[in-house]
Structure 1
Amino acid sequence: NSPTSTSGQHRRPPEKPLDVVEADLVFLDGAIRLTLIDRLTRFAYNYPLQAKTGKRVREGLLLFLATVGTPRTLVLDRGREFDNFLVRSLLEEFRVKVHWTTPGYSRSHGMIERLHGTLQEHLHILRIGRGMTGEEAWARALLAYNSSLHSATGYTPLELMRAWQVCGELVDQDDRKKRDRVGRLNIKATDR
């Protein structure tokens, strides 16, 4: 077990975006994608990969870290593409805790599996209805998912992610309580 591994800590409900993120690979429409989903907002991300290798997964994860930020906990399966020196060392470098799912227990990775089913439906509709494939179809499928009302939250993933970003940025500088709250959030974020 690596120093970044967790046991059961991912079960605590996330309190903010990037507390717990699930990641997996999906093979749809002739493409390999690294998909990630934030457990709080249900906001999804996907990155094309050239191959199902540790090197390519590391590149996709690094792109996620560079553009989105560092999750506190990343939920992964034990496939070789994730459970290898390249990926482990990247996650250790950025102090990302890893929760390894239990093989055969789909509930621990259920949110991302549902995402894959939804993306597959969107891609099918785009291919059949509009003759669309490739990167444009993937971008539109992801946009449709992130813009759709989620039954568990009552909001779209995009609304929840934007609301979080706005709350942290639009602070009345004369209101000391708000400044203190944002300061505490920033301290918590750096303690991950």
Structure 2
Amino acid sequence: NILVMTDLFTHYAWAVPTKDQTAQTTVHALWTHVIQPFGCPARLHSDRGASFESALMYQLCRCYGITKSKTTPYHPAGNGGVERLNQTLLHMLRSLEAERQQRWPELLPELLQAYNNTVHSATGYAPSYLMFGRHLRQPVDVNLGVEQGSRCNDLGGWVRDHHQKLSFAYETARKNMAAAVNQNKKVYDKRAQALPLAPGERVWIRDRNRR
């Protein structure tokens, strides 16, 4: 089992191997890997899995002032960011040699590091840069002798410069995400078919749980 989480704005991702999908395990993973090191999110959006809709999860949200929302039934696109991340991680895992695929739990942090430090198509920035405000120094940078950043003796000047760069990055990311949403909507609208339903009209509902 892997609990996959992503930040909606920065697209920074977490993927936590878990022993099961119980509410206690899910809440503990959320607390340990997200809330404790990064703070309380304003909103938590999830699918309708039992662990996310449990009393324990809602108690956690109430304690930390988190607004809890959920996807509509049978519509995974309502949590599209996580669904796309799932596909990306699966693709990355399948690209490994068969022997390494068997050791996926220990390799997961390396795959996440690669994902979080790669420019995201929706924002134009690496998730780690938008999350932490700097380009993280990677092992490959050390091996290639790539220098990132420079020494700064003026702390106040560095803070002002850093703030300006980050503000520009956030604004650019917002514009890029808005453009990506509009483009995705155009593609979706081309395939979508309007249903001519009138108020009060009877319809059939498919029971997907029935075998």
CA-based RMSD of the aligned residues comes to 2.5
- What one-letter code is carried by the residue in structure 2 that aligns with 1:38? D
Q: What is aligned with 1:44? A: 13
* C-alpha distance in 2 between matches for 1:145 and 1:153: 14
Q: What is aligned with 1:17? A: none
Structure 1, unpaired ranges of 5+:
1-31, 179-192
Residue 61 (structure 1) aligned with residue 30 (structure 2) = yes
Give the alignment's TM-score, normalised by structure 2: 0.60
1:126–1:132: 8 Å Cα contact kept in structure 2?
no
SS at match of 2:95: helix
* C-alpha distance in 2 between matches for 1:107 and 1:61: 22
* More contact order relative to length (CA 8 Å, sep ≥ 6): 1
User: Whose helix fraction is larger, Structure 1's or Structure 2's?
Assistant: 2
* C-alpha distance in 2 between matches for 1:85 and 1:159: 35
Structure 2, unpaired ranges of 5+:
136-154, 164-211
SS at match of 2:15: strand
Q: What is aligned with 2:150? A: none
1:126–1:133: 8 Å Cα contact kept in structure 2?
no
Q: What is aligned with 1:103? A: 73
1:72–1:96: 8 Å Cα contact kept in structure 2?
yes
Alpha-carbon displacement from aligned partner over 1:94-128 (angstroms, at most 9, x marks no partner): 11101111012222100100000000111111244
1:53–1:81: 8 Å Cα contact kept in structure 2?
yes
Q: Deviation of residue 49 (structure 1)?
A: 1.4
Q: What is aligned with 1:119? A: 89
Alpha-carbon displacement from aligned partner over 1:61-114 (angstroms, at most 9, x marks no partner): 111211121110110112111111111111111111011110122221001000
- Select the residue among 152, 159, 163 that pairs with 2:133: 163
Q: What is aligned with 2:53? A: 83
2:94–2:101: 8 Å Cα contact kept in structure 1?
no
Give the alignment's TM-score, normalised by structure 1: 0.65
Compared with structure 1, are the counterparts of its residues 91 and 125 closer, same or farther at alpha carbon in structure 2 (3 Å cutoff)?
A: same
Identity of aligned residues (%): 30
Kindly report structure 1 stretches of 4+ aligned residues shifted beyond 6 Å.
none
Q: What is aligned with 1:23? A: none
- What one-letter code is carried by the residue in structure 2 that aligns with 1:89? Q
Q: What is aligned with 2:122? A: 152
SS at match of 2:133: helix
Q: Deviation of residue 141 (structure 1)?
A: 1.4
SS at match of 1:47: strand
2:43–2:68: 8 Å Cα contact kept in structure 1?
yes
The number of residue pairs the alignment matches comes to: 141
